[in-house]
Structure 1
Amino acid sequence: MLPERTDVLIVGAGPTGLAAALTLARRGVEVTLVDQREEPAVTSRAAVVHAYTLELLDRLGAGAPLVARGLRSARFNVRDRDRVLVNVPFDRLPTRHPYALLVSQSVTEEVLTEQLAAVGVRVLRPYRLTGLHHDGDGAVARFDGGTVRARWVIGADGIHSTVRELTGIPFTGPAGSEEAFVLADVRVDSTLSRDSASIFLARGGPLVWAPLPDGRVRLVATVADPPVEPDVAYLQRLLDERGPRRRPDRVREVLWSSRFRLHHRVAETFRAGPVLLAGDAGHVHSPAGGQGMNLGICDAVDLGETLADVLAGAPETRLDEYAARRRPLAQEVAGFADRLTRLATVPPAARPARDTLLRLVSVLPPVRHRIALRLSGLNQRRSARTAVPGNRTGG
């Protein structure tokens, strides 16, 4: 049952909402977390948790149990069919997690939900938000099962955020930025190493190949007109066209598959009075590079710590600073993902020059290290607050 009042209402129980709720609960804040789905999703888009995200999850007690359920990737490869153009090593990163953790988003959500339950918070389902307005005392949220007055509301309800729409925050992006993607978990016969993920740069668009626990492989590809449920034959054609050529992969089984479309968009502000945005409610971009869920969790921890400080007596301007920090990061990540897509889709005449340039980059250790810092999210240490309790100077 919904409470009549709460300090913080979080709408959306994906990784972002769960991480925000856990951050606040561990700071002793009264938090209510709701979701419109009857059950958590068992399939999911994201399949990688990067080093900086794991550092933040360690603060919440969720890092170790998640690592135990994932597969560690020592490197990330940029490939053109059989050629490795750039090898990005993670094993020398300045972190306790010198790897990328390959794990389904649904498992990440399970771990965060378990940690929330341990501190006495559960997800309230299914409640669909139908109205939201705010006044001098906070906000009033109407659901199809009741009304909640909250001092603060966090919109973590994804791309089609009802919180964002009801608040009237514009969600804008460049014209013509829509992309269509195929997403699948498969079992394949492959000679590719299971200790690394790869992105294949192909004329038709990038193809991400990422191993997961239990012998599965996650495939993500930009395509022009994907089918509703890509089957073995369709995914085999994608691998034949974009994957290894000399020793091609063979798809044995499709465990699940889907398609989705998205525009590259960023909210014009991450705060409107007592309403705050985090995760996909504030930014949407290509999944190339595996940045979306990671950025959302980083938003959540930053916002949770900031909001806990404000509830403890810090000035509300701290929340404006949160919005000012996170929006440029979202724009930068969107641009980074777009550059990966454009690298993949250069015209055939320009591909030799592109490949030569990338191979030159690959022999420069400082450049590879910078790329690893960027992919891992560790570059955010300098630009994001995400302070631990008692340390207000940043991560």
Structure 2
Amino acid sequence: MTAETVDTATAADVRPGSVRVHVRAALRRAAPALALFAAIRFAGVVCTALWAWHTGRHPRSLLGATWDSNWYLGVARYGYGSPAPRHMWPPDALADLAFFPLYPGLIRGLSAVVPIGALNAGLLLAWTAAAVAAWGIFAVGAHLYGRRAGTFLVVLWALLPHAVIQSLSYTEPLLTALAAWALYALLTDRPLWAGALALAAGLARPNGLAVAAAVMAAAAARTWVRRRRQSVPVPRRDRPLWFYWAAAVIAPAGWLGYVLWVGARTGAGPRGYFRVQEVWGSRFDFGRDTLRSVRRLFLHDGPLVHPMAAAVVAVSILLLALLMLDRPPLPLLAYTVVLVVLALGGTGYFPSKPRFLLPAFPLLVPAAVVLARARPRTVVLTAGSLAVLSLGYGVYLLAMAPLPL
């Protein structure tokens, strides 16, 4: 499918005095998509709050202090290696080193400046990151396929079965925001911005390395194209190659820096971080554990989270195949493939696979393009069905599921 370039502005078009004008114009273009996203997530929060009150729990604690959120709050309040979360599994002094530092660092910084407490700061940051992610997703979709497709891309992301995570104090919204805008920067010839965002993504989550892969793929692709066109003058608006290779060097620095720091902290050298992951039962086995989990699902009964996770994994693989047939820009494809490989190729808790796939929003591009061309009745029926599933399953995941997200 031929990509339709809607936003043709490049870095050369943005003069220092017009940055604010461009931001306002971009917000106006994205306003319908952001309004729909806010309405969907608000409905999700309301459903969760009603169930929390029904069961005698406080909605803020349910949204901001659930499972991994407690680990991030512990790091934000006390730093790494503190005894704060020792009542949680696994009871190991190194366990909190598995959680990358950007989000707890932001929580600590915000709660120090604004006296709202770490829990409220975590929720505020997560919700802001989710909104910025939705804006970035729209920017990517609209740039490649038009504003209507960009809007549906945001709506589909907001209506994923496990989209309740976008309302929690988790790091997936933060990673998605950094990834979406890094991809948009690459698509609009802003490689240094993309490299800086990839660096930050590498400090947010382990799979933030996928953003660095996108930047490296862009640098390799630009070099290959330039070498094939050596006899053709380079357009004045094109960035020099060294911009892309500088971005490729910067991009993995956040991830690599934290991994090396954990190695020094544990005294285990470069293997230190991976030993911490083994404390959580996590390692890369090329998908064998995922296949075993799916096989067990057919042989034994289990909670709803298991078949739902299997369904999400199956649909994700199908959508990845459709995306590859669509021949998207190489950075977009590299980012998505690396995310899917990391999510499905690792061991650990199988029902968390959908959460690990949440930042892989380009998987939704084929469906968004189809919906952009569909009749209004089809759109309403599809969106309505997805909303019922997403809101209902979100309440189940957060308030009723016997297992963590």
Q: What is the TM-score of this pair, normalised by structure 1?
A: 0.26
Give 1 or 2: higher strand fraction.
1
Give 1 or 2: higher helix fraction.
2
